[in-house]
Amino acid sequence: MPDRQIHSIAEIAQICGVSKATVSRVINNNPKGVSAETRERVLRAIRELNYRPNALARSIAVSRSNMIGLVVPDVGNLFYPQIIRGVTDYADSKGYAVLVGNSDYNPEREAQQLLSMVDKRVDGIILCSGVSNRDFLLDFRRYNVALGLIGRSFDTSVSNASITGDNVRGGYKSAAYLIRGGHRRIAYVEGNPDVSGSRERLEGYRQAHTAAGLPVYQELLLSGEYSIQYGRLAADQLLNRKIQFDAITTGSDLIAIGMVSQLLQRGVRIPEDVELIGFNNTELASAFHPALSTVSKPHYDMAQYITEQVIRVVEGEQVKLPHTVVEPQLVLRETTLPRPYDNEY
């Protein structure tokens, strides 16, 4: 068996007959203080021994870990791949590694994950669709970690940067589009009601109704979780309880897919009998059959953006914009009927 060693800077130093300081200078290719030949000699030893500097040791010495933490509700949810990819791409490009954790929409678990990342001394944290309350986050700032928020926003004392879609507008647009189609009983089917986005979309839904002088029926407001499963369940519920509805807005494409799938199976035609609008415009929405009408935000870009900001604060630069909100766009496909529409309202 070959030497399965992982060497230390001291060994390299000894082998080359120089001090640790010199090796360190070579590694960080610090141009000062080491001659070309010494440098070469050290580099050769490093190569020959396959020496890899210990990033952890370095981290504690310079008190910077070059790691950032990403906390999402559920990495298994098909909504998050775009986000994770956005974060890892940007982080990677700047030489940061990414630690991931699931919160399961549970404030305690979320807190646990956040603290565990502090323990690992990540330089920054990106919290996605967080469910922690404001006080906790505010208190959390004591740990001096750059904090970026996706999908939720507080004042600047809570986070260094945040980016959200305008969920109120999103909720408004989809409801308004359906209302404009003459629908009067529009079901609103949400995922986890604790997520702020849920409440905001509902607010938009309400606004669209009142703007049109229409009542909001409590029995049409459902919530459960962001999954295909739940979409199925919600469809069944609506049908089984014989609740009348002529259109649906949902809190995610997954819910929408589950509902469409189940409604179709139970003989409800879409969009002829029921129009439906999803949320988020995941990759799936356009591929699904019938293709989902949905509300679109550039999640990948949003993730990249927030990662950029977090890294900026880590590196002592200014955040470009502490709070960004992006206007969601209604994307109309096959689960709605066409009608004049200008994406403005």
Partner DNA sequence: GGTATTTACGAAACCGGTTGCCTGTATTAT
Partner DNA sequence: ATAATACAGGCAACCGGTTTCGTAAATACC
Candidates 14, 38, 196, 329; binder of DNA (CB under 7 A) is: 38
CB of 256 to a second copy, least distance (A): 10
* Binding status of residue 24 toward DNA by CB under 7 A: yes
Binding-site partner at residue 338 among a second copy, DNA, none, CB < 5 to 8 Å by type = none
CB of 257 to a second copy, least distance (A): 5
Candidates 33, 76, 182, 338; binder of DNA (CB under 7 A) is: 33
Binding-site partner at residue 319 among DNA, a second copy, none, CB < 5 to 8 Å by type = none
Q: Is 146 helix (H, G, I), strand (E, B) or coil?
A: strand
* Binding status of residue 54 toward DNA by CB under 7 A: yes
CA 218 and chain centroid, separation: 30
| Closest to a second copy by CB, 168 or 331 | 331
CB of 330 to a second copy, least distance (A): 21
Q: Say if residue 149 is exposed, middle or buried (CB neighbours under 10 Å; 0-12, 13-18, 19+).
A: buried
| Closest to a second copy by CB, 44 or 120 | 120
* Sequence-ordered alpha helix ranges (H) in the chain: 9-16, 20-27, 36-49, 55-62, 81-93, 107-119, 134-140, 167-180, 196-211, 228-240, 253-265, 283-287, 299-314
* Binding status of residue 22 toward DNA by CB under 7 A: yes
Picking from 255, 176, 237, the residue whose alpha carbon sits closest to that of residue 212 is 176
Q: Report the alpha-carbon distance of residue 130 to residue 306 in Å, rounded.
A: 14
Q: Kindly list the residues in this chain that would bind a second copy in the complex (CB under 8 A).
A: 2-6, 50, 52-57, 59-60, 65, 67, 74-78, 80-82, 84-85, 88-89, 92, 97-102, 115-121, 141-144, 228, 257-258, 260-261, 264, 283-284, 286-291, 300
Binding-site partner at residue 17 among a second copy, DNA, none, CB < 5 to 8 Å by type = DNA
For residue 162, the surrounding DSSP H or E stretch is strand 161-165
**Residue 18: φ, ψ to 5°:** -130, 180
Radius of gyration of the chain (CA): 26
| Closest to DNA by CB, 15 or 274 | 15
For residue 60, count other CB atoms closer than 10 A to its CB.
12
* Binding status of residue 35 toward DNA by CB under 7 A: yes
Site of interaction with DNA (CB under 7 A): 6-10, 17-22, 24-25, 27-28, 32-39, 53-54, 57-58, 60-63
